[in-house]
A = this chain, B = another copy of it.
Amino acid sequence: MKARVTVTLKNGVLDPQGKAIEGALGGLGFDGVASVRQGKVFDVEMRHTEAAAAQAELAEICEKLLANTVIEDYAIELM
């Protein structure tokens, strides 16, 4: 079973990478962009065949390793 985990910064948390991209886009002449925030995505192949078991293990993995829940949110999408 495949899953995609998306980890993004919470609102209000400063995102220097996103700001750097905004600056670079301005320099390249892309005027249509108002703001950019960068996050991470993990494509995970699970051995579980049951969605509930996969979801539960992924949530624990996010809490313990993939996301810093003080400043980041995570979303799990089973495919």
Q: Report which A residues bind B (CB closer than 8 A).
A: 6, 8, 18, 21, 24-25, 28, 30-48, 53-54, 57, 60-61, 64-66
* Known A21-B66, A24-B65, A66-B21: A45·B34 in contact at CB below 8 Å: yes
Interface centre among A31, A32, A37, A64 (most CB of B within 10 A): A32
| Chain B, Cβ-Cβ closest to A64 | B28
Can you sample 20 A-B contacts with CB below 8 Å?
A24-B65, A25-B61, A25-B65, A28-B65, A31-B47, A32-B47, A32-B48, A32-B53, A32-B57, A33-B44, A35-B45, A36-B42, A36-B43, A38-B40, A38-B41, A38-B43, A39-B40, A39-B43, A40-B40, A41-B41
